[in-house]
Amino acid sequence: MEKLLTVHYISFAMSDIDFNALLITISGKIAGTELLRLKRLCRGKISTDGEINDVYDLLVDMVKCNTLGADKLDVLKEVLGKFEGGKPLLKDVKKFEEIRKGKVTDLLAPKSISP
């Protein structure tokens, strides 16, 4: 049982790493000049814009506010779809979702145990 819990934990830790990589990728591809526009689009979904100095800070703030997460990507997709620079990044988000679904499906699939 302990081994199963360890595998489960490692899998979700890896998904956290994948999710953080997605946030870094997105923030790296959005020009800093878009930050003000993103803040406006995220009004009500972020805690404050006083301490948000770049796109990555904005995304992390959304995570802290429980607006964004590895299983909560709808708001991110909505925001990315509302400005020209974000539309190409929707592919990255959708790819992340597909990979994550595959990992969860693999975890839940019955495995045969040989003696």
Q: Whose structure tokens read 């959708």?
A: 94
Domain positions in the chain are 2-105
Please state, as a whole number, how many other Cβ atoms lie within 10 Å of the Cβ of residue 82.
13
What are the tens digits of pLDDT across the range 76-89?
999 999 988 888 99
| pLDDT at residue 15, as a whole number | 74
Q: Rounded mean pLDDT of the chain? A: 81
What percent of the chain has pLDDT above 70?
74
Strand partners, 72: 69
Which of 82, 88, 92, 91 shows the shortest CA–CA distance to 37? Answer: 82
pTM of the model: 0.75
At residue 47, does pLDDT exceed 70? yes
Q: Place 7 in a pLDDT band, splitting at 50, 70 and 90.
A: very low
Helix, strand, coil shares of the chain as percentages rounded to 5? 70, 0, 30
| pLDDT at residue 56, as a whole number | 94
Q: Place 111 in a pLDDT band, splitting at 50, 70 and 90.
A: low
If you average pLDDT over residues 46-59, what whole number do you get? 84
Q: What is the CATH number of domain 2-105?
A: 1.10.533.10
Return the higher-pLDDT residue of 75 and 49.
Answer: 75
